[in-house]
A and B are shown apart, each in its own frame.
Chain A
């Protein structure tokens, strides 16, 4: 399966702990996007990264959230000191090129639950 791979699929954390979500893009894709989906809502853009660069993090909360896409390895979305409101499904997508008429392809998401 050469699709977007996300792990873990489910993650449970207690308030105050850290959550690390990983995303490996499709082969040949160097553009990665993170979205968050709250129950009964659509996906909301968080951050757009290319290898080693954050291009747009306008949808990501300024505090506690960070993202990276290193030269080697998967993209990581990191949430420090998690709170109940962070409970959501987090989806990663990748594309071959930036913008234009190139659809983003999504992984199956990480469902984060905060106790």
Chain B
């Protein structure tokens, strides 16, 4: 039972353009959502988070949008840079336990 889904295994974007990564969840009890970036052979690095009481959170080039009615989360990266190429995981949490999606591999083309 996959409570957090990332339906796009991969995404390619031109440098300078916007990258949009999507995530869907099923459990309305989730109240905290996060995005992590992961390079090969490294651990996930925290990027940005959002509480369920908000619908948008912005940090530099990264913006996370939350649509509670649709149970949908998205991460926007603008402008995209080659160094953003990595696997991106969304995670949802009702408390301390994070439920991760399967990841989306982003490739930013120079």
Contact = CB atoms under 8 A, between A and B. Distances in A.
A21 to B, nearest CB: 13
B99 A45 contact: yes
A109 B43 contact: yes
B40 to A, nearest CB: 11
Contact of A43 (B95, B96, B98): B98
A56 B96 CA distance: 10
Contacts of B45: 106
Interface stretch (B11-19, B60-68, B74-82, B100-108): B100-108
A44 B100 contact: yes
Contact of A106 (B32, B44, B101): B44
Contacts, number: 61
B44 A43 contact: yes
B73 interface: no
A31 B43 contact: no
A31 B96 contact: yes
A34 to B, nearest CB: 11
12 contacts: A41-B102, A42-B100, A43-B100, A45-B97, A56-B96, A56-B97, A59-B97, A91-B43, A95-B96, A99-B93, A106-B36, A106-B43
Interface of A: 4, 6, 31, 33, 35, 40-45, 48, 55-56, 59, 91, 95, 98-101, 103-109, 111
